[in-house]
């Protein structure tokens, strides 16, 4: 126990002295830990933790009160996703990491301080037309979002994803996490995805390989598709005019899974695109920018 504590303190000090997010620190334990971004992360964003070492046989972390399994990308390389919920309070947190080497019974423990910063979210006032006011009913909203969250709450142990791409071209026109105020405060909510300009009928592509787990019309999301990419990563595509896949179907990156449209609670045609990681909606654009080893 004492030895474990000494190792933890020594490794903690090494991590504190780590000069650059993407730089590896040498380890006497036979593995290296890389955290990107390191030290600070904004609300609603995802960090990538990598443990690299030939003898590593298992790795897991705890962060923000939950267990995060690391997965073996290839022999000797383990990765995990640290998703910060957009509602996580700003402040200092600890990442605890447990790494088993050569099937030893006791893991090597190390930790690192991570500061969660304000997400810099925008505020939007939205005026829905008279015909859509029924979609501001709080109960209807709660049921809609609960259904989507339940579908997102899965961690498929199998890795299905390859590399990631955007579902349609172009920059987002509305960002993740924004506070939305509908019809002068009739309803307030958060934006769980990123919106892209897309005229009705624009092909919407799967962002990576995965399995379709949800295809349904929802009052808010409209025609909605969810793809499970494995390892706790799921992508969602909303307001589609047409759904072109069925639940259980395996899709490849770039496959057209539907056509954009204006179904559900919208002011006009666009694609609402969202990503959930370990059951947290995260900034999809930031997630796509992560340097995930392929």
Give the shortest CB-283-to-Zn ion separation in angstroms: 13
Question: In the complex with Zn ion, which residue's Cβ is closer, 53 or 172?
Answer: 172
**By CB under 5 A, is residue 221 in contact with Zn ion?**
no
- Quick check: 33 and 49 in contact, CB under 8 A? yes
Give the shortest CB-183-to-Zn ion separation in angstroms: 17
Question: In the complex with Zn ion, which residue's Cβ is closer, 27 or 175?
Answer: 175
Beta bridge partners of 49: 35, 80
Give the shortest CB-195-to-Zn ion separation in angstroms: 4
Chosen residue from 49, 272, 281, 287 binding Zn ion by CB under 5 A: 272
Per-position x/- string for 195-214, each x denoting binding to Zn ion as judged by CB under 5 A, each - no binding: x-------------------
Question: In the complex with Zn ion, which residue's Cβ is closer, 161 or 273?
Answer: 273
Give the shortest CB-180-to-Zn ion separation in angstroms: 9
Q: Which residues ranging from 165 to 194 are in contact with Zn ion (CB under 5 A)?
A: 193
- Quick check: 153 and 232 in contact, CB under 8 A? no
Give the shortest CB-238-to-Zn ion separation in angstroms: 7
Question: In the complex with Zn ion, which residue's Cβ is closer, 38 or 202?
Answer: 202
Question: In the complex with Zn ion, which residue's Cβ is closer, 31 or 287?
Answer: 287
3 state SS for the chain: CHHHHHHHHHHHHHHHCCCCCCCCCCCCCCCEEEEECCCEEECCCEEEEEEECCCEEEEEEEECCEEEECEEEECCEEEEEEECCCCCCCEEEEEEEEEEECCCCCCEEEEEEEEEECCCCCEEEECCCHHHHHHHCHHHHHHHHHHHHHHHCCCCCCCCCCCCCCCCCCCEEECCCCEEEECCCCEEEECCCEEEECCCCCEEECCCCEEEEEEEEECCCEEEEEEECCCCEEEEEEEECEECCCCCCEECCCCEEEECECCCCCCCCEEEEEEEECCEEECHHHHHCCCCCC
Question: In the complex with Zn ion, which residue's Cβ is closer, 80 or 236?
Answer: 236
**By CB under 5 A, is residue 50 in contact with Zn ion?**
no
**By CB under 5 A, is residue 274 in contact with Zn ion?**
no
Q: How many residues bind Zn ion (CB under 5 A)?
A: 3
> Minimal CB distance to Zn ion: which residue?
272
CA–CA separation, 22 vs 99, rounded Å?
Answer: 19
Question: In the complex with Zn ion, which residue's Cβ is closer, 224 or 229?
Answer: 224
Instruction: Name the residue with tokens 């997400």.
Output: 119
Give the shortest CB-171-to-Zn ion separation in angstroms: 14
Give the shortest CB-272-to-Zn ion separation in angstroms: 3
Residues in contact with Zn ion by CB under 5 A are 193, 195, 272
């Amino acid at each position: 126990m004492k030895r474990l504590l000494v190792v933890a303190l020594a490794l903690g000090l090494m991590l504190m002295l780590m000069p650059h997010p993407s730089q590896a620190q040498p380890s006497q334990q036979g593995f290296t830990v890389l955290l990107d971004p390191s030290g600070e992360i904004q609300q609603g964003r995802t960090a990538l933790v990598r443990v690299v070492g030939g003898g590593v046989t298992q790795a897991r972390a705890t962060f923000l009160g939950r267990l995060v399994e690391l997965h073996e990308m290839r022999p000797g390389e383990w990765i995990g996703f640290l998703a910060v919920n957009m509602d996580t309070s700003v402040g200092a947190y600890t990442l605890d990491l447990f790494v088993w080497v050569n099937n030893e019974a006791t893991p090597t423990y190390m930790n690192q301080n991570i500061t969660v910063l304000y997400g810099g979210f925008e505020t939007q006032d939205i005026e829905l037309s008279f015909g859509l006011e029924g979609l501001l009913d709080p109960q209807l909203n709660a049921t809609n979002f609960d259904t989507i969250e339940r579908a997102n709450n899965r961690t498929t142990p199998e890795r299905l994803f390859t590399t990631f791409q955007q579902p349609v071209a172009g920059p987002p026109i509305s960002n993740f996490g924004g506070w939305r105020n509908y019809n002068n405060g009739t309803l307030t909510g958060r934006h769980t995805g990123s919106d892209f300009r897309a005229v009705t009928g624009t092909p919407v592509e799967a962002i990576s390989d995965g399995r379709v787990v949800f295809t349904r019309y929802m009052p808010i999301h409209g025609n909605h598709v969810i793809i499970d990419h494995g390892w706790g990563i799921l992508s969602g595509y909303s307001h589609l005019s047409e759904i072109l896949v069925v639940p259980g179907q395996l899709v490849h990156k770039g496959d057209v899974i539907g056509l954009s449209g204006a179904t559900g609670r919208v002011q006009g045609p666009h694609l609402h695109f969202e990503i959930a990681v370990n059951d947290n909606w995260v900034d999809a654009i930031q997630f796509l920018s992560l340097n995930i080893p392929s």
